[in-house]
Structure 1
Amino acid sequence: MQRIEFLGCPMDVASMDDTVETIRSAITAGQFTQHVVVNVAKLVNMRDDPQLKESVHSCDIINIDGMGVVLGARFLGHSVPERVAGVDLFHELLKMSKTNQFSVFLLGAKDEVVSQATSNVLALYPGLKVAGYHHGYFWDDEAALVEKIRASGAQLLFVAITSPKKENFINRWRDQLGVDFVMGVGGTFDVVAGKVKRAPRWMQQYGLEWLYRVIQEPGRMWKRYLTTNLKFALLLIKEKAKRLFGPAKTN
């Protein structure tokens, strides 16, 4: 996979198929992979959050999730063929895990949500090896939870906790988890459990999933997305202007 730098963040330019195959090969070889997806909000928040920045930069694979990042990267001249959305990658990795008999662990969300998500996953992918699951409210004893994951023998760990908690948790415990692959999947369990609906496909293609979330939860989301999207637009304009009108490079 080709790695680029976009607005100060390293990112891997890869298709969904390339990403899944890279992860499969690493698991087969027993090579640990720390994975993250980056969207507009995460990219903006990293600039003011050194710990989140460190957690993201430490990852072995950094996929481009949001269409806003895809379009922004193209605007600055990078060739990005497609997005690799976290929720879609989650499903592709479950399919791959079923085929290869890899075991998975689901961590995060409320107890009833992760329980329902696990049941739905097993119905969608019969024969998938689920080593265990646990809710996302374990902060009073992280070490015990990490030991539970290690003892489960899981090879893939999916962490459905809000950002930046999930990125920092993964980076903090990466060497003790005992898994071959770990990624944060945000609100994916809510979608899989049927608690939250994804935006229609056409809105996903045009980078309007944020708008769909605002429509679903206007009181909680409008200010968050307005702020991050405006900051992102300004960063893009500044970077474009720097490239167009900045001082010429000299040898």
Structure 2
Amino acid sequence: MNKRFIEKELFLGTQLELVDRIVSNTQKKIKKAYYAINADCMLKYWSDEEYQKIINMPAHITYVDGMGIIFAQKFLKLPIARERIATTDLFPALVKHLQNHNSLLRIFLLGGKNDTAEIVIKNFGTKYPNVNFVGSHHGYFDKNEESNRVIQYINSLNVDILFVGFGNPIQEKWVNNYFDQLNVSTIITCGGLFDYYSNNVKRAPLILQKTGLEWFYRLLQEPKRLYKRYLFGNFNFIKNVFLIKLKSSQEKVMGDY
């Protein structure tokens, strides 16, 4: 597959601006999916044609969840995101906004093992009692055989905002496949978000988040599971960005003749 950076226009605003847009679109019943993109996602984008097409769909919103993307935007002289929007930060920011505005928007959490999502609801329900969490379902169901049943359950609850945490790119492909069947205005894919807020996984210190080293903290927590993703993956991401830069420079030189 020809390696290029993301073809569509990314959301480049702040987290606060994204929260405002999500709430506004949801209230207006403007149906959209929201996808995060980081260095690991870009490796899948370059190797998985189906996932690439989903990310490039102009109707949906893709935001920057990774300092690697911002570094690449600067290096390639592309429009630069004003800040990194980690989905693990977007979720509590959105919940806090709904609490402060006494919103009645209905939220459903789909994904995680066993009762992980339910624990998240209990934890956030204690802190934000006015937020309207209406249900959850684990993510370990047969996506081919049981998706219709799960979707019927979600639709029966008149959900406004659906968080889907199956891991990338399974979650994006699932959302794309069942987008028309889901009677939900806003769908946000969220990876392992529920593990963080059910206290299964600890978040990196803020200084590591801001300097682009959150991946290193995660690697220290789960080295056996994540070493390929972060050690080999980060190298491949940097290599591909340099190749894109080189190709762009060569095309510019050829164009000058």
Instruction: Give yes or no for contact 1:7–1:235 (8 Å, CA) kept in 2.
Output: no
Corresponding residue for residue 218 of structure 1: 223
Classify the secondary structure of the residue corresponding to 1:81. Answer: coil
Corresponding residue for residue 3 of structure 1: none
TM-score, with normalisation over the residues of structure 1? 0.93
Q: In the TM superposition, what are the counterparts of 1:1-251 in structure 2 within 5 Å? A: 7-10=5-8, 11-58=10-57, 60-78=60-78, 79-98=80-99, 99=101, 100-139=103-142, 140-246=145-251, 247-249=253-255
Q: Cα offset for 1:150?
A: 0.7
In structure 1, distance between residues paired with 2:53 and 2:241: 22
Classify the secondary structure of the residue corresponding to 2:109. Answer: strand
Alpha-carbon displacement from aligned partner over 1:81-102 (angstroms, at most 9, x marks no partner):
1111111111112123332221
In structure 1, distance between residues paired with 2:224 and 2:116: 22
Instruction: Give yes or no for contact 2:6–2:56 (8 Å, CA) kept in 1.
Output: no
- Structure with a larger share of its residues in strand: 1
In structure 2, distance between residues paired with 1:240 and 1:85: 26
Percent same amino acid among aligned pairs?
A: 30
TM-score, with normalisation over the residues of structure 2? 0.91
Q: Cα offset for 1:244?
A: 3.2
Classify the secondary structure of the residue corresponding to 2:115. Answer: helix
Instruction: Give yes or no for contact 1:9–1:43 (8 Å, CA) kept in 2.
Output: no
Ranges of 4+ aligned residues in structure 1 off by more than 6 Å: none
Q: Cα offset for 1:241?
A: 2.1
Moved more, 94-103 or 194-203: 94-103
Q: Cα offset for 1:103?
A: 0.8
**Aligned residue pairs: how many?**
246
**Which runs of 5 or more residues in structure 1 are unaligned?**
1-5
